[in-house]
Amino acid sequence: MAADTEVVIDTRRLWVILLSRGRKTYLLAAGALLYWALAAMPQPSGLSREGQKAIAAFGLCVFYWIFNVLPLMITSLLAIILLPLTGVMRSGQAYALFGNEAVFFILGAFILAACFMKSGLSTRIALTILHRFGSTPRTLLLTVYLLNSIMAFFMSEHAVAAMNFPIVAEMVAVLGLQRLRSNYARALFLAMAWGTSIGGIATLLGGARAPLALGILREATGQSYGFLEWTLLALPLVVVLMVAGYWIILWFFPIEIDSIEGVEQLLNERWLKLGRATFEERAIGTVMVLTLIGWVVGGEEFGLANIALAAVVSLFMLGVVTWRDIEHHVNWGVILMYGGAIALGAAINSSGAAAWLSKVTISHWASSGVTVVLLLSLISLLLTEAMSHSAVVALLMPVSIGVAKEFGIDPRLMAPVVALPAGLAFTLPIGTPANAIAFSSGYLRMRDMLLPGAVLELCAWVAFNLFAYWYWPLLGVHIP
Amino acid sequence: MTAVNPGHLKVELALGGVAVDASVRTRPELLPALRDARHVLELLLPEDVVVDAPLANGRGVVSDSPAPHRLAYEGEQVFLQREPATRIEVRIIPPPQFYRANTPHGIPMRRIGSVFGSFIALNPLAPASDGPCTLCSGRPTEYDSAEPHPIVDVVDTVRTAFAEGAVEFVLFNASVTEAEDGGIAALEPYIRAVKRNFDTFVAVQMHPPRNNRWVDRTYAMGVDALTYSVEVHDADILARCYPGRVAIIGRERYYEALAHAASIFPSGTVWSDLTVGIEPAESTMRGIDALVQAGVLPVVSLAPPRHGVAPADAAAPRAEEVAPVLAHLFQATRQSKVNMGWVRELSFGITPLEARFFAGEEARLSVAQQFYRSRLGGMAARNLARLRRRLRVRTVSDSFDSSRL
């Protein structure tokens, strides 16, 4: 136990503690029971035996993902071993999916983001923008909001929120805003969280969910999206949600202060301390820009993953980073998560289970392509409040591809229908790391997130479906 | 052989001391016990009651008893004799052999650990001089220049003591300190080392830390039993006898810390000494009531204070004055349902369990208490303690979901 570790003694009755601490055991057993029930029930009509086993494995993993019984990546490992052991898929095929292109794309993106942060370039950009534009309470709020959003275009949401939270917290402290009483403090932290979440859906770089959705789509259909293509699909929605979110924040939390004089001084001091940009910062910035250009211009020809990894290699060739600098900043669990989720999705599709699942789920309630999109986006939006974004995608993508085939919808449509709403969690601290970080400030009560967040979610769902129906056809993505 | 109340006998011996007959002095195997530097004999009485009996012809006598017990040796057996017709079979507990051994660093083990009943008392940090400490007198403590003992030496001493069978438990004494933590942070490495190397209970005796988070850490680091000794309940007498405590820690802080500790440690493992004779018996009884109401196990100390107390306030009590206090000790503790089974076999004090002899209770233990005294029971108790700590202790980092993607 580290000397500075805070210790909490749980003084509840031991049997109460045992029950609460036994949660994992109970859930593990419940998941196993669910697997057994699904695998042992009489074979449904229209479903192959392999499909039934695939559904059992799918149900077990989804149960563990939903309740976070095991770390998400460990559940994915469970998926990998279940499929060969139950005869659904050959071992070689299951393990080969760890080499899926999407896995290496997001790995490359994570390494680039780690370099970006390690060099201090991200902090420099943040402070420069805040110092330049945040001169009044309203403009500071707007700057925090936009800064988090735009940074989330290029970095994972978690990284953006974690990086900017100390800056926002320090500004709030300098202003002397009262905990749980200051509207402006609430507005700032909520702007940080929402800006990050909304911006995170704009490109393939904002979170792991979009590349995962594309990985499952490619594995099932051979289709995918280019970097620019995805951005064009999402960006108008981002703009609308940013506007809506800003007005919702101001509506619920009117600004009560007139000056941010202390913050101006703080930002000025921090900005001056940065000094001149180093060679490492310039090199990493240049590589990042070139990489973005490469993704836009040559993503379809050369592959997103190849470009990402080429950028990573070039940074090491330039000597601006070392392996030790970044290895702790990369979420290595993503590789495991992706491999398992993609394998599970492939098994569901190849065994015919996806089609069967679609018939007994979405197809019961949907009557057309429009209603399919409405339902799937709503389900994705609701689930993401309580689950990891990637888990939502892993859960819904296999089923949605089956639904697409059932309704004669282009399967490509399902990736943004599932992945974009899966990134929009606004109401609960557990919905997304950005929300949790903002809530941990202690300036937000639960209801400060629930009600405004619910309003924004409703706006998001409506806006998403309007764009999907009216705007996406302009890009060649049609809802029949 | 005459039936005897061992509780009463313990009090009489502790207060009145014991004289040693010539027949004992002629036994070479008993001489080491007679040469104890404290001028005290550790005796095992009937019912496994242990007592430190001052030698009547040494400096340890604290009571002017007209007819102290005499220790005699006859027929391969040691007896206590008060009257010619009254002989009580007892056993002299010799100094443990490890006292004569040295640690890997050449330190006499006697300097690291002392045996009191079933405990080895360890003071691994720089011991204070024999003079009064800050918390007693209010004046700066004079420390010896000795460095803290190496952890390996402390562990080796404990291992040797256990191998000899001299003790069952470990008791750490924290050095007197004015630091916020009360000295527990400095003890932590030693406590963890003992817990890693031995399957044993660890107790700590110290003055309370300034805030309760250090009490929490004390439990979290592996301490199984804890004592913050109040010693004197009466506020005025405490202020007069121990001005440093009142000024630096405060009387109320002792009770607050004890109450908090009692809420997180198992019942009966947090105890506090009240020294009989310094204050009126009624005040000691009120102190007992205050402790049991907080869930703390009171222990009545019979040992005279080493320093800090004026002679007028340290008049040795008589056995008949102590008896009502001890009867109250047992009755109050039993009514409060504080577990009396854990703290036992303290040679320098009377535990509530031992106080049953003053309350007219039959001299027998409950089935559960007998079980936990057995080898199997001891093992079960230690494993339950580990499970309990594992369940109760959480760190803040546990609260965050680290697996979010």
Asked if the Cβ–Cβ distance from B405 to A5 is below 8 Å, we say no
Least confident window among A134-138, A194-198, B146-150, B263-267:
B146-150
Taking chain B, what is the end-to-end CA distance rounded to the nearest angstrom? 78
Q: Which residues of B touch A158 (CB under 8 A)?
A: 404
pLDDT in tens, B215-260: 999 999 999 999 999 988 999 988 888 888 888 888 899 999 999 9
Per-residue pLDDT at B67 = 46
Query: A393, A449, A437: which is closest to A72 by C-alpha?
Result: A393
Per-residue pLDDT at B292 = 95
pLDDT in tens, B343-398: 877 777 888 988 888 887 655 567 777 777 788 888 888 888 888 898 888 876 54
Q: Say if B386 is an interface residue toward chain A (CB within 8 Å).
A: no
Q: Which residues of B touch A340 (CB under 8 A)?
A: none
Taking chain A, what is the end-to-end CA distance rounded to the nearest angstrom? 60
Strands B77-83 and B69-74: antiparallel
Q: How far apart are the C-alpha atoms of B354 and B367, rounded to whole Å?
A: 16
pLDDT > 60? residue A209: yes
Find where tokens 């229209």 sit. Answer: A46
Closest-CA residue of chain A to B262? A11
Per-residue pLDDT at B370 = 74
Assign residue B88 a region: left if phi > 0, alpha if psi is -120 to 50, beta otherwise? Answer: beta
Asked if the Cβ–Cβ distance from A331 to B404 is below 8 Å, we say no
Around Cβ A328, how many Cβ atoms within 10 Å? 9
Best to test chain B binding among A5, A8, A9 (most B CBs inside 10 Å): A9
Per-residue pLDDT at B73 = 82
Q: How far apart are the C-alpha atoms of B179 and B183, rounded to whole Å?
A: 7
Q: How far apart are the C-alpha atoms of B94 and A124, rounded to whole Å?
A: 74
Mean pLDDT of A218-242: 92
Per-residue pLDDT at A254 = 93
What is the radius of gyration, based on Cα positions, of chain A? 23
Q: How far apart are the C-alpha atoms of A431 and B292, rounded to whole Å?
A: 47
Minimal CA separation from B82 to chain A, in Å: 51
Q: How far apart are the C-alpha atoms of B329 and B150, rounded to whole Å?
A: 40
Q: CB-CB: which of A3, A8, A72 is closest to B396? A: A8
Mean pLDDT of A354-367: 80
Mean pLDDT of A145-150: 94
Q: Say if B391 is an interface residue toward chain A (CB within 8 Å).
A: yes
pLDDT > 60? residue B311: no
Asked if the Cβ–Cβ distance from B221 to A436 is below 8 Å, we say no
In one-letter notation, the amino acid at residue B345 is E
Per-residue pLDDT at B320 = 79
Strand order in the sheet with B270-275: B113-116, B119-122, B169-173, B202-206, B225-228, B270-275, B297-301, B349-350
Residues in contact with B352: Cβ distance below 8 Å, sequence separation at least 6, in sequence order:
B297, B298, B299, B329, B330, B333, B334, B338, B340
Q: Which residues of A touch B402 (CB under 8 A)?
A: 71
Query: B27, B13, B32: which is closest to B70 by C-alpha?
Result: B13
- pLDDT range class, residue B59, cuts 50, 70, 90: very low
The distance of Cα B257 from the centroid of its chain, to the nearest Å, equals 18
Q: CB-CB: which of B216, B217, B391 is closest to A14? A: B391
Least confident window among A126-140, A233-247, B118-132, B260-274:
B118-132
Least confident window among A98-102, A390-394, B97-101, B156-160:
A98-102
pLDDT in tens, A407-439: 888 999 999 999 999 999 999 887 788 888 888
Per-residue pLDDT at A5 = 66
Question: How far lies B32's CA from each of B75, B119, B303, in Å?
Answer: 20, 20, 22
Question: How far lies A101's CA from each of A107, A217, A335, in Å?
Answer: 10, 12, 11
The structure tokens listed for B133 are 């400490």
pLDDT in tens, A53-89: 999 999 999 899 888 888 888 998 998 899 999 888 8
**ipTM value of the model?**
0.72
Q: Which residues of B touch A156 (CB under 8 A)?
A: none
Report CA torsion sign: B163, B266, B208, B216: positive
Least confident window among A201-210, A261-270, B121-130:
B121-130
Strands B40-45 and B86-92: antiparallel
Asked if the Cβ–Cβ distance from A6 to B395 is below 8 Å, we say yes
Mean pLDDT of A211-236: 90
Dihedrals phi, psi of B17, to nearest 5 degrees: 80, -175
Per-residue pLDDT at B328 = 94
pLDDT > 80? residue A255: yes
Instruction: Burial-class residue A323 by CB neighbours within 10 Å (0-12, 13-18, 19+).
Output: exposed
Minimal CA separation from B250 to chain A, in Å: 25
Q: Say if B110 is an interface residue toward chain A (CB within 8 Å).
A: no
Indicate the average pLDDT of chain B: 81
Q: How far apart are the C-alpha atoms of B369 and B121, rounded to whole Å?
A: 24
The structure tokens listed for B341 are 């089974």
Per-residue pLDDT at B119 = 86
A362 vs A173, more confident: A173
Query: B118, B131, B107, B122: which is closest to B174 by C-alpha?
Result: B122
Minimal CA separation from B367 to chain A, in Å: 23
Q: CB-CB: which of B213, B393, B405 is closest to A390? A: B405
Are the C-beta atoms of A236 and A230 separated by less than 8 Å? Answer: no
Instruction: Give residue ranges of A with CB < 8 Å to any B CB.
Output: 1, 3, 5-11, 14, 17-18, 21, 68, 71-73, 158, 208, 331, 333-334, 337, 388-391, 430, 432-433, 436
Per-residue pLDDT at B401 = 35
Per-residue pLDDT at B65 = 47
Per-residue pLDDT at A387 = 78
Mean pLDDT of A465-474: 92
Q: CB-CB: which of B392, B397, B401 is closest to A10? A: B392
Q: Say if B217 is an interface residue toward chain A (CB within 8 Å).
A: yes
C-alpha atoms less than 13 angstroms from C-alpha of B284 in its C-beta half-sphere:
25
Q: Say if B221 is an interface residue toward chain A (CB within 8 Å).
A: yes
Range(s) for CATH 3.20.20.70 in chain B?
97-385
Per-residue pLDDT at B305 = 53
Are the C-beta atoms of A67 and A331 separated by less than 8 Å? Answer: no
Q: Which residues of B touch A331 (CB under 8 A)?
A: 405
A455 vs A115, more confident: A455
Per-residue pLDDT at A408 = 87
Minimal CA separation from B189 to chain A, in Å: 11
Minimal CA separation from B329 to chain A, in Å: 27
Minimal CA separation from A70 to chain B, in Å: 9
Q: CB-CB: which of B220, B388, B404 is closest to A388? A: B404
Structural element, H or E, at residue B235: helix B235-241
Minimal CA separation from A388 to chain B, in Å: 6
pLDDT > 60? residue A280: yes
- pLDDT range class, residue B133, cuts 50, 70, 90: low
Q: Say if B396 is an interface residue toward chain A (CB within 8 Å).
A: yes
Asked if the Cβ–Cβ distance from B405 to A389 is below 8 Å, we say yes
Are the C-beta atoms of B188 and B196 separated by less than 8 Å? Answer: no
- pLDDT range class, residue A360, cuts 50, 70, 90: confident
pLDDT > 90? residue A144: yes
Mean pLDDT of A200-228: 89
C-alpha atoms less than 13 angstroms from C-alpha of B99 in its C-beta half-sphere:
15
pLDDT in tens, B9-39: 888 888 888 888 888 777 777 777 776 666 7
Around Cβ A285, how many Cβ atoms within 10 Å? 17
Best to test chain B binding among A6, A7, A106 (most B CBs inside 10 Å): A7
Task: Name the range with the highest mean pLDDT among A217-226, B137-146, B352-361.
Answer: A217-226
pLDDT > 50? residue B64: no
Instruction: Burial-class residue B199 by CB neighbours within 10 Å (0-12, 13-18, 19+).
Output: exposed
Asked if the Cβ–Cβ distance from A14 to B388 is below 8 Å, we say yes
Closest-CA residue of chain A to B395? A7
Around Cβ B102, how many Cβ atoms within 10 Å? 15
Are the C-beta atoms of B117 and B50 separated by less than 8 Å? Answer: yes
Are the C-beta atoms of A203 and A430 separated by less than 8 Å? Answer: no
Q: Say if B388 is an interface residue toward chain A (CB within 8 Å).
A: yes
- pLDDT range class, residue B135, cuts 50, 70, 90: low
Asked if the Cβ–Cβ distance from A9 to B401 is below 8 Å, we say no
Find where tokens 């997304």 sit. Answer: A432
Asked if the Cβ–Cβ distance from A9 to B395 is below 8 Å, we say no
Strands B297-301 and B270-275: parallel
pLDDT in tens, A25-61: 999 999 999 999 999 999 888 888 889 999 999 999 9
Asked if the Cβ–Cβ distance from B391 to A18 is below 8 Å, we say yes
Question: How far lies B88's CA from each of A457, B2, B23, in Å?
Answer: 86, 6, 16
Report CA torsion sign: B356, B357, B362, B368: positive
Q: Say if B179 is an interface residue toward chain A (CB within 8 Å).
A: no
Minimal CA separation from B265 to chain A, in Å: 9
The string of DSSP letters for A154-208 reads: HS-HHHHHHHHHHHHHHHHHHHTPPTTT-HHHHHHHHHHHHHHHHHTTSSTTS-S
Minimal CA separation from B264 to chain A, in Å: 6
Mean pLDDT of A193-219: 91
Closest-CA residue of chain B to A2? B395
Q: CB-CB: which of A7, A8, A72 is closest to B405? A: A72
Instruction: Burial-class residue B311 by CB neighbours within 10 Å (0-12, 13-18, 19+).
Output: exposed
- pLDDT range class, residue A133, cuts 50, 70, 90: confident
Dihedrals phi, psi of B308, to nearest 5 degrees: 90, -15
Question: How far lies A339's CA from each of A89, A212, A219, A394, A422, in Å?
Answer: 14, 9, 11, 11, 19
Per-residue pLDDT at B405 = 27
pLDDT > 60? residue B60: no
Question: How far lies B295's CA from each of A11, B257, B333, in Å?
Answer: 14, 12, 9
pLDDT > 70? residue B168: yes
Closest-CA residue of chain B to A18? B391
Q: Say if B401 is an interface residue toward chain A (CB within 8 Å).
A: yes
One of 3.30.70.260, 3.30.360.10, 3.40.630.30, 3.20.20.70 is the CATH number of B97-385, namely: 3.20.20.70
Per-residue pLDDT at B315 = 61
Asked if the Cβ–Cβ distance from A334 to B221 is below 8 Å, we say no
Per-residue pLDDT at B397 = 53
Per-residue pLDDT at B63 = 45
